[in-house]
Amino acid sequence: MPYTTPEGYFEGLKQKLAGIPQRARNVSPMQKLTPYLALAAVFAAAFVIGGILLNKTATPSAGKEEIVEYLLEHDLTLAQLEEAVYYLDE
């Protein structure tokens, strides 16, 4: 057998294991929920900060008059212009 245990390893093993403090078994429900609440708080903060950043960096959309003016400047046919105005009114 290529592997062996050191001499006298198992003689004091029970005493060594008994010296390790046991984990407390009476854990309150709040202690169980704390990691999940922290994770939910991180996600909520990310959504709020992301929403604020998106609102500050968003560009305003053009008004109807600006769109019609753009279409007129680019030599569109009357049918194309009427179709564009029709979609703007919806």
Task: Check whether residue 46 and residue 31 sit in a common domain.
Answer: yes
Per-residue confidence band for 90, with pLDDT thresholds at 50, 70 and 90: low
Q: Which residue carries 């390893």 as its tokens?
A: 9
Is residue 66 within 8 Å of residue 84, measured between CB atoms? no
pLDDT, tens digit, 9 for 90 and up, residues 74-85: 887 778 878 877
Between CA 5 and CA 52 the distance in angstroms is 62
Task: Check whether residue 65 and residue 90 sit in a common domain.
Answer: yes
Task: Check whether residue 66 and residue 90 sit in a common domain.
Answer: yes
The whole domain housing 71 covers 61-90
pLDDT at 52: 92
Average pLDDT value over all residues in the chain: 84
Tell me if 17 is assigned to some domain: no
Tally the domains of the chain: 2
In this predicted structure, the answer to whether residue 24 has a pLDDT above a threshold of 70 is no
Between CA 23 and CA 85 the distance in angstroms is 72
Task: Check whether residue 65 and residue 88 sit in a common domain.
Answer: yes
In this predicted structure, the answer to whether residue 62 has a pLDDT above a threshold of 80 is no
